[in-house]
Structure 1
Amino acid sequence: MDKVPSLCSIAARLRLKQLRLLIALDDRGSLHKAAEHISISQSGATKALHEVESMIGMPLFERQPKGLVANEMGRCMIRYARLIYSDVAHLREEMISIMQGQGGRLSVGVIMGAVPLLTRALTELRLKQPQLSVELVENTSATLLGLLDQGRLDLAICRASVGQRSATYDCIELTEEPLAVVASKQHPLAAADALQLSQLSDYRWVVYPKDMPMRQALERELNEAGLQVPRYPLETSSTFATILLVQQDPTLLAVIPVEVARFCEQFDLLVKLPVSMRALIEPYGVISRAGADLSPAAALLINELQQDLTT
């Protein structure tokens, strides 16, 4: 611990130019390419990197055949460099919004099952804040938490437990995620009045990637029914791909959130099969970085999400 510089020392000596260089080195893998990317000379890049390493008291990169590769301390510095630089970028965007009389900017990540809830909340929010700029990213919880760590998202509507550092997040629990089995309208079982899970065992499935909650839920149900997990499944984390694959192939089945299944039925895209599926074990919630100050727009969105669930 004696070798770690003090907070005052870091604040006095660390520069945004140095943070940009660390990010560019991680992205480009060489001093020459990194210097070119941020428009400084290679000697200037070498000096800036030396300044950071002198401040920390140890090297941050190792020279390997494929280029410069960050060591453990380097990866730590790069992760926070991305967070700081992202916050500065958001600061600039909000300054522009204020100067132009606009409503600010909000970047939100969402898992498939929470998309209907989020879109309803965003519709209400934009009625009240019509000049609010919103970026919406749909992906798995693990991917969204990574984007949150990097400062690329203000909020993520997902599950914190799949992250490697769940204690570094603040979570406001929202709701459980009931599941449904869906099929094409031309599927042999599409018109059935009632089904048991065992009657689905001969069909192929579109599934979420391994270790994802949706995949685990399906395998749990099959195991408890004494059935084999799907062999040779089609694996995707894309909602759109899942819907299209099932719609176009009358032999496929998929497990998706009930809200998404209702949407598909409403627009005559898929049918929800009459088979019982339990909700995912862990509810999803609104996740933010622990201790981070939420923007007014983020706080308003959380309020809209909570109001939607109580109406």
Structure 2
Amino acid sequence: MLDWDRIRVFHAVAEAGSFTRAAEHLGLSQSAVSRQISALEEDLGTPLFHRHARGLVRTEQGEILLQTARDVAARMATAQSLLSESRERPAGLLRVNTTVGFGAIWLVQHLAEFLDLYPEINVSLLPLDAELDLSMRQADVAIRLSPPTQPDLIRKRLLTVHTHVYGAPSYLERYGTPETPDDLDNHRLITYSDNSTILPIPTLNWVVRAGAPDDAPARKSVFQVNNVFGMIRAAETGVGLATLPDYLVPRQNRLVRVLPELEGPSFDAWFVYPEELRHSKRVAVFREFLLRKVAEQAIW
């Protein structure tokens, strides 16, 4: 039977890519980590890493073991959180996956209040424009900007998102304010990176065709960036006009809505989590907290 302690060390080394960084994370000496990996390789009768001067590269067998180690680590974290919830108050680690824009801009401004309400919950925010697999326990819950396709996930609609065109006063003073959609032909546009294979919102770049005939070529953007936060910052500094979800542009923001009658396609945001967490107290209080914060904002 494999030694779980050695698997735990292997997992840390595989994720860190070096004995030194893994040792710092585990609070062990580098030599102790190296000994554990060597002992595990001896138990398995196969090398798990290719050793190079520039770091470690996993072998094929190492890749196989890492997948299992990640799964075991995730399930151990889930078990630890569920066991801690045997007490009266919600407690434990809550891993939240959502897009960069929603997580790093909207959600973080409300987390202090949530943690004050539930001090025994620890939140790990995983803002990625790619979706993590909840059924594989890569995260506990997610806020998705499209309906979940996995049949084993519980869903709750949070809000309907609307998008408009925004620009900075400095940009509008220099280049003028567009009066009609056709005027966008003569403006600098900011879009989500064309090189990205995953759009956080499928219709995020609708401005390139807004108001144009179907047979007209798409407008060219002057600046592309692969996350919504970068789009907001570029618009704020006067790079150009950007189509942004309204909830990401607070009243005190340095952006002005232009062509207010021109609205992009709307879409729903969903709170989702796996069936096995249906009775989790920390998931329930987080869901209700999000619904309350959404209801408090008239911008939706």
TM-score, scaled relative to structure 1: 0.66
2:246 is aligned with 1:235: no
Query: 1:20 Cα deviation (Å)?
Result: 1.6
Contact 2:204 2:244 in 1 (8 A): no
Q: Give the number of aligned pairs.
A: 281
CA–CA separation in structure 1 for the residues paired with 2:81 and 2:275:
23
The answer on whether the counterparts of 1:184 and 1:271 sit within 8 Å (CA) in structure 2 is yes
Structure 2 residue 280 is matched with structure 1 residue 288: no
Q: Please tell me whether residue 277 in structure 1 is matched to residue 267 in structure 2.
A: no
SS at match of 2:161: coil
CA distance in 2, matches of 1:220, 1:30: 44
Partner of 1:69: 57
Distance 1:25 1:234 in 2: 36
1:285 is paired with a residue of what secondary structure? Answer: strand
Q: 2:141 maps to which residue?
A: 155
Aligned-pair distance for 1:47? 2.2
Question: Which SS does the other structure have where 1:141 is aligned?
Answer: coil
Q: 1:288 to 1:246 in 2, by over 3 A?
A: same
What is the percentage of aligned positions where both structures have the same residue? 16
Amino acid of the residue matched to residue 245 of structure 2?
P
Whether the 8 Å contact between 1:173 and 1:285 is mirrored in structure 2 is yes
CA distance, structure 1, for counterparts of residue 228 and residue 243 of structure 2:
13
Matched letter for residue 271 of structure 1: V
Give yes or no for contact 2:236–2:255 (8 Å, CA) kept in 1.
yes
| Alignment match, 2:233 | 244
State yes or no: 1:22 paired with 2:23: no
For the structure 1 residues 140 and 43, does the alpha-carbon distance in structure 2 shift closer, same or farther, using more than 3 Å as the test?
closer
Find the aligned partners of 2:78 and 2:62 in 1 and give their Cα distance: 24
CA distance 1:309–1:270, shift in 2 (3 Å): closer
Structure 1: runs of 5 or more not aligned: 1-12
Which residue of 1 is the match for residue 161 of structure 2? Answer: 177
**Structure 1 residue identity aligned to 2:132:** L
TM alignment of 1:55-94, pairs within 5 A: 59=46, 61=48, 63=50, 68-71=56-59, 74-88=62-76
In 2, Cα distance between the equivalents of 1:46 and 1:114?
40
Given residue 244 of structure 2, which amino acid in structure 1 is its aligned partner?
Answer: I
Opposite residue 264 of structure 2, the aligned amino acid is R
Name stretches of at least 5 consecutive residues in structure 2 with no aligned partner: none
Relative to structure 1, the CA distance from residue 204 to residue 80 in structure 2 (aligned partners, 3 Å threshold; closer, same or farther) is farther
3-state SS in 2 of match to 1:213? coil
CA separation of 1:242 and 1:291: change in aligned 2, threshold 3 A: same
Q: 1:248 to 1:24 in 2, by over 3 A?
A: same
Greater shift, 27-36 or 132-141, is seen at 27-36
Distance 2:33 2:248 in 1: 52
State the alpha-carbon separation in 1 of the partners of residues 62 and 170 from structure 2: 54
Give 1:185's aligned amino acid: P
Give the whole-Å Cα distance in 2 for the aligned partners of 1:27 and 1:126: 29
Amino acid corresponding to residue 257 of structure 1 in structure 2: P
**Are 1:253 and 2:241 counterparts?**
yes
More helix per residue: 1 or 2? 1
1:301 aligns with 2:299: no
